[in-house]
Chain A
Amino acid sequence: MNHPVLSIVAVPALIWVAILGIVRVVIAPAELCADGSALAFRSTAQDASNWLVVNQREDGSYVYEYNRETDDFPIAYNVVRHAGVTMSLYQVAGRLGDDQAFTAAENGTAWLLNNMVYRDEWGGPTNGSNVKVGSAALMTIALAERRLLTGETVHDDAMRALGEFMRVQQKPDGGFYTKWFVDTESMDLVSTSAYYPGEALWALAMLHEAFPGEGWDEDAWQTADFVSLRRDDVEDVPFPPLNDHWAAYGFAEMAEWQLADHHTDYARRLAARFSLFIRFEAQKTDEGVNLQVRGNSRRSSALGTWVEGMAALWRLSMSDERLSDISDEILEQAQCGSELLAERQLDNDHPPLEAGAWFIDGVTRMDDQQHAISGLLYTADGLDGRVQREPDTEAAP
């Protein structure tokens, strides 16, 4: 080591090689993003939808969770997720013209309607003990989706009742109380929810689109300001913004309402957050050193939401000039996430409780399929340059 070459060049070079190696492994592993097509993504969404259809129970509920390793169905259910799954089935019916998905969505809607409780002017689906803002919001979106698809107004009263429930639960700062206790006839004044405001935002925007002139837009604006300015503080989000795909849907729905600068600034930061998560996910190989550094792949209900968020923000960026500079990058990341979903889905050679689903640690949950479906459908639309989110009316089964 006494030769000058070693001391001047070789030693620093070796140190740098080590540093660059660590950077490659820890900071910048290869991002495994193939270029999936719109056709392939719709096919993946269709297979996932088939899982929901095949595994729907007679009463309209869905298989909530399935463990393929123990062939076990845990006893649990979640009304918010039921409403979300029903919404995604209407989306499949609308975008892929799938009759079976529509029938399953109708059964899911009937289950929700059977579980509604009404007080004064408001109403909401209950699990027996409470009515949650999230359930009401996603049920509203499901019914609004159905209305756009069929043109029928049969559930308009239910939609308004759900909207009134959200109004009742909204706080003066634009946030929301989370639920109403059925037994005690009282509001939960303590708990908060990070995602309910985003869900309510989209639902209120959809209500305004369905019933213009009824003032739903005022509630939506209030919610939009809360989500973009205050929510992360209220929820103590450690690294804001919260990755809220529901808010992305909401702002995309409001794209033609002349959003304020702080809304589009928030949308830009949200896109960056989803992008970071998708890139990180694309770096995972689930083996070797990478597994130690990056951890396991996330379940599709997480990855799917990031893709949903990006697809929604792409639509917003196509309608709002302030975000037009990031349209291509957003769509590229949505495509990357969709491709990961497509690669990780179990194919149709598997039994009905597995085919078309995504499993992590041997378990799939119904919203794994829901979020993947929505993300895949709207990314496929983005790749086709289709900015309109609503179904084509001729798609009605």
Chain B
Amino acid sequence: MTILALLFVLNPPAVATIWLSYPKAIGLREGQRLLLMIAGAAALLLLLASLFGEPLLDAFSVSDSTYLIAAGTVVIFGALQGFLGFGLRPNADTLGWLGVATLTWLAGPPVLFTVVALTLDYGSLVSIVAIVLSVALVIGIAGVWFFRVRERYGMLLGLARRIFAAGAALAGVDLIRQGVLAI
């Protein structure tokens, strides 16, 4: 369930929405380079979260079980953000900020918290594999939407984003449930 939570929290349609905010500012080659840069940076941040999440919990004197409740709460806030579309259409006109906005989404607190929860459940190795696959999937889905679909199905994109956000909310509730039932 935590692996599924990662995909919900990453919310590919939300990432696509960010890119679609700049349809004229980005070209194909430039877009590809940007995708790689964002994917690499996000994966690096998530990898660090996976490796140092548990020591951080110790440093903050938070048990794994309590952490899951906290993570679930953060994910629910993230889901709210995804549902409302908050932060998805930044008012900027330079390409660089597109990267920043996407990165903030891909490696924002809900995702980082989910990654650490994933590590607690399955260990770093599984977590890292899940991170790589999830980020690749997100970039793939968002990329397809950007390069192939563009704005033709804008309403559909908004609906998909909200469906993913609802999934994230459920995943957050499940994390809280896991935390309450954990020892």
Question: Is B8 part of the binding interface, using a Cβ–Cβ cutoff of 8 Å?
Answer: no
Interface residues on A, range: 20 to 34
**Chain A residues positioned under 8 Å from B86 (CB to CB):** 12
Within 8 A of B (CB), among A331-360: 333
- B62's partner among A9, A28, A271, A326 (CB-CB below 8 A) is A28
Nearest residue (CB) in B for A276 is: B180
**Chain A residues positioned under 8 Å from B108 (CB to CB):** 12, 16
Complex Cα gap A294–B108 (Å):
28
- B183's partner among A4, A5, A23, A275 (CB-CB below 8 A) is A275
- B92's partner among A7, A30, A31, A326 (CB-CB below 8 A) is A7
- Asked if residues B63 and A279 are in contact (CB atoms below 8 Å), the reply is yes
- A9-B104 contact, Cβ under 8 Å, with A19-B74, A23-B74, A28-B69: yes
- Asked if residues A333 and B87 are in contact (CB atoms below 8 Å), the reply is no
Complex Cα gap A31–B58 (Å):
10
Query: Smallest Cβ distance from B81 to chain A, in angstroms?
Result: 8
Nearest residue (CB) in A for B64 is: A329
- B66's partner among A5, A12, A279 (CB-CB below 8 A) is A279
Nearest residue (CB) in A for B57 is: A28
Query: Smallest Cβ distance from A34 to chain B, in angstroms?
Result: 10
- Asked if residues A326 and B183 are in contact (CB atoms below 8 Å), the reply is yes
**Chain A residues positioned under 8 Å from B11 (CB to CB):** none
- Asked if residues B183 and A272 are in contact (CB atoms below 8 Å), the reply is yes
- A330's partner among B74, B87, B183 (CB-CB below 8 A) is B183
Question: Is A269 part of the binding interface, using a Cβ–Cβ cutoff of 8 Å?
Answer: yes
Number of interface residues of B (CB under 8 A): 29
- Asked if residues B183 and A7 are in contact (CB atoms below 8 Å), the reply is no
Complex Cα gap A27–B65 (Å):
11
A16, A27, A28, A269: which has the most chain B beta carbons within 10 Å? A28
**Chain A residues positioned under 8 Å from B91 (CB to CB):** 4, 7-8
**Chain A residues positioned under 8 Å from B90 (CB to CB):** 4, 7-8
Question: Is A20 part of the binding interface, using a Cβ–Cβ cutoff of 8 Å?
Answer: yes
Complex Cα gap A20–B104 (Å):
15
**Chain B residues positioned under 8 Å from A33 (CB to CB):** 61
**Chain A residues positioned under 8 Å from B67 (CB to CB):** 28
Within 8 A of A (CB), among B141-183: 180-183
- Asked if residues A329 and B183 are in contact (CB atoms below 8 Å), the reply is yes
- Asked if residues B92 and A275 are in contact (CB atoms below 8 Å), the reply is no
Question: Is B100 part of the binding interface, using a Cβ–Cβ cutoff of 8 Å?
Answer: yes
**Chain B residues positioned under 8 Å from A30 (CB to CB):** 60-62
- A20-B92 contact, Cβ under 8 Å, with A4-B97, A31-B63: no
**Chain A residues positioned under 8 Å from B92 (CB to CB):** 4, 7-8
Question: Is A32 part of the binding interface, using a Cβ–Cβ cutoff of 8 Å?
Answer: yes
**Chain A residues positioned under 8 Å from B87 (CB to CB):** 8, 12
**Chain A residues positioned under 8 Å from B104 (CB to CB):** 8-9, 12-13
Question: Is B70 part of the binding interface, using a Cβ–Cβ cutoff of 8 Å?
Answer: yes
Complex Cα gap A332–B54 (Å):
17
**Chain A residues positioned under 8 Å from B69 (CB to CB):** 27-28
**Chain A residues positioned under 8 Å from B61 (CB to CB):** 30-33
**Chain A residues positioned under 8 Å from B63 (CB to CB):** 31, 279
Query: Smallest Cβ distance from B57 to chain A, in angstroms?
Result: 9
Indicate with 1 or 0, residue by residue over B84-116, a CB within 8 angstroms of chain A CB atoms. 001100111110010011001000110000000
Complex Cα gap A329–B181 (Å):
12
Question: Is B22 part of the binding interface, using a Cβ–Cβ cutoff of 8 Å?
Answer: no
- A27-B66 contact, Cβ under 8 Å, with A9-B100, A12-B87: yes
Question: Is B73 part of the binding interface, using a Cβ–Cβ cutoff of 8 Å?
Answer: yes
**Chain A residues positioned under 8 Å from B101 (CB to CB):** 8
Query: Smallest Cβ distance from A149 to chain B, in angstroms?
Result: 32
Query: Smallest Cβ distance from A68 to chain B, in angstroms?
Result: 31
Complex Cα gap A20–B77 (Å):
10
- Asked if residues A275 and B182 are in contact (CB atoms below 8 Å), the reply is yes
Query: Smallest Cβ distance from B97 to chain A, in angstroms?
Result: 5
Complex Cα gap A76–B86 (Å):
60
Query: Smallest Cβ distance from A256 to chain B, in angstroms?
Result: 23
B61, B63, B87, B104: which has the most chain A beta carbons within 10 Å? B63
**Chain B residues positioned under 8 Å from A269 (CB to CB):** 181
Within 8 A of A (CB), among B21-64: 60-63
Query: Smallest Cβ distance from B3 to chain A, in angstroms?
Result: 20
Complex Cα gap A272–B92 (Å):
49
Query: Smallest Cβ distance from A243 to chain B, in angstroms?
Result: 13
- Asked if residues B66 and A333 are in contact (CB atoms below 8 Å), the reply is no
Query: Smallest Cβ distance from B64 to chain A, in angstroms?
Result: 9
Nearest residue (CB) in B for A327 is: B183
Complex Cα gap A271–B183 (Å):
7
Chain A to chain B contacts (Cβ below 8 Å), 12 pairs: A4-B92, A4-B97, A9-B104, A27-B69, A30-B60, A30-B61, A271-B183, A275-B182, A276-B180, A279-B65, A279-B66, A326-B183
- Known contacts A12-B87, A276-B180; 8 additional CB pairs below 8 A are A4-B94, A7-B90, A7-B91, A8-B104, A12-B108, A28-B60, A31-B62, A31-B66
Give 7 closest A-B pairs by Cβ, nearest first: A4-B92, A30-B61, A28-B70, A8-B90, A329-B183, A275-B183, A27-B70
